[in-house]
Structure 1
Amino acid sequence: MKKRRNLKSLLRYIYLKLLRFKDPPEKIALSFSIGVFIGIFPTFGVGGILVILISYIFKLNYLAGLLGTFIMNYFTSPFFWALSYFVGDFILTGKFEWRGFERGSFKVFAISYLLGNFIVSTTFSVISYLVVKKIVTTYRKKRGGHKPSSS
């Protein structure tokens, strides 16, 4: 029950924070979606640094990007790991089944996982762009075009 409340609080925090940025909706959504991609893709602990670096280079909102990385957390990680493996394995073999290391090679497993993860990361990144842009645009229209402060 407590974990569920924590997840709900985290999602509410991200939602409210995204609505309060001053940037245009497209910039907020792009920043967030890059964070989603990096959050799902295995970056081995340097995801936050990558988001900040990419945001700096392309003049994006690094806070929105960092918020996007929270898509990968202890609730969602098993889902994304499994989905990544199954998508990659399906692309390589045409079957949906767990084979793990039965084929005798960590290399084959890793290729399946990384291929699937790239597709999953890209898909969720595009979806998050569309959703965040819609949410921010709708919120601003309801508020009469008022741009909230970036607190």
Structure 2
Amino acid sequence: MRVRIRRARRRIREELESAFIEDYTSQEVAISFSIGLFITALPTLGTGLLMFAVLVYLFKQLSELAMLASVLVLNPFVKWGVYASSYWLGQRLLGPVPLAFDGNILAAGPDVLVRLWVGNLILAVVFATAGYLLALRSVVEFRQRRELL
């Protein structure tokens, strides 16, 4: 487990450092990472990468590498925890899902999805905000150290 964590941290660091070296401003790298975290946190069922491609095509100021680095942070193994937390948060805000024991369990589906999405949007905003601040600080510090060398 520790080896996996070290390997994942190294991959994230390498991707972010590659993004830091690109010809983007610190703010552009940070906002790209933040947008990537926001999209990756949502339950997009794999369409997040397609959204990345569309956004990078439409907005030349976005760093593709920084957006892809966010996928390494919120990888498929971590996303299940995000989904569980999202549902828990949505349930805390909107109340528990009313379940009728009439044999029609599918009737609760829309209520479950609403709670998942509400919690997920809140967590996505929190992740994006924290990601922006951390990425901006990291890029600025990385570039300052690089200039000193």
Q: Which residue of 2 aligns with 1:40?
A: 41
Among 65, 68, 74, which residue is 2:67 paired with?
65
Correspondence for 1:96: none
Gaps of 5+ in 1: 94-98, 147-151
**What is the CA–CA distance in structure 1 between the aligned matches of 2:53 and 2:148, rounded to whole Å?**
29
SS at match of 1:76: helix
1:136 paired with 2:142, answer no
Query: TM-score, normalised on structure 2?
Result: 0.82
Identity %: 27
Cα deviation for residue 74 of structure 1 reads 3.6
How many residues of Structure 1 are paired with residues of Structure 2 in the alignment?
A: 141
C-alpha separation between the residues in 2 aligned to 1:138 and 1:12?
A: 14
Greater fraction of residues in helix: 2
Contact 2:91 2:97 in 1 (8 A): no
Alignment TM-score, normalising by the size of structure 1 = 0.81
Query: What is the root-mean-square deviation in Å for CA atoms of aligned residues?
Result: 2.2
> What residue ranges of structure 2 are gaps of 5+ in the alignment?
none
| Alpha-carbon distance change, 65 to 140 in structure 1, aligned in 2, over 3 angstroms | same
Counterpart residue identity of residue 27, structure 1: E
